[in-house]
Amino acid sequence: MRFMTLSLLSLALPSALALPTLPIAFNKRAAARTFAELTISDGTAGNALAEATAKFPVPADLASVSSADLKTLQAERVTAEDAETKAFNPAIAAATDNATKTALQNGKIKNKVLKLFAEVQALQIQQAQGSNNQDKIDAETKKLNTNVALDKKAAGQTSQTVTFTGN
């Protein structure tokens, strides 16, 4: 069953990434957004992939993404990663009750989905523009699928974000 879920996610991600641009235009961002603007960690667990897709709408033609937009996407991925290591991890370690720890862990998983979705998207853009990085895409997609499965396993549970001012 777990294999089937991961297989389905592996099949679904390329389909999701091939969707036409969502209403939020990918190439309209002039600068990288802050963590507060990017975060999907609040709310409830279970729908992180859809939330990440909404934050990083995928253009129909990956090869046409400008180098400036690619750099913005990569900077936003770094922001999500920094929030994980510099804010989520310490907050989880400092939490004194199980409910808070669980909510923060759920938020961290949703943040990892966001980070990994951005990473896979950036790698696919680079590949569409001539880079040969399929091995990296496969490795990051595997990590993404693992975290999407963890998020779905926690579906309905409270998810909590952290305050992080780095970008």
Mind listing the pLDDT tens digit of every residue in the chain (167 residues)? 444 344 444 444 444 444 333 333 454 556 899 999 999 999 999 999 999 999 999 888 999 999 999 999 999 999 999 999 999 999 999 999 999 999 999 999 999 999 999 999 999 999 999 999 999 999 999 999 999 999 999 999 999 999 999 75
User: Taking Cα atoms as reference points, which of 165, 39, 60, 62 lies closest to residue 108?
Assistant: 39
Residue whose structure tokens are 């934050």: 55
Helix residue spans in the chain (DSSP H): 2-17, 35-38, 48-55, 67-83, 89-94, 98-128, 134-153
CA angle 39, 41, 45 (to 5 degrees): 145
- CA–CA separation, 66 vs 10, rounded Å? 27
pLDDT given at position 143: 98
Q: Can you name the residues that pair with 43 across neighbouring β-strands?
A: 159
Could you tell me the two tokens for 53? 């897709």
Distance (Å) of CA 20 to CA 12, 57, 118? 15, 8, 16
Could you tell me the two tokens for 13? 């991600």
pLDDT given at position 59: 85
pLDDT given at position 114: 98
Q: Per-domain residue ranges for the chain?
A: 2-22+32-159
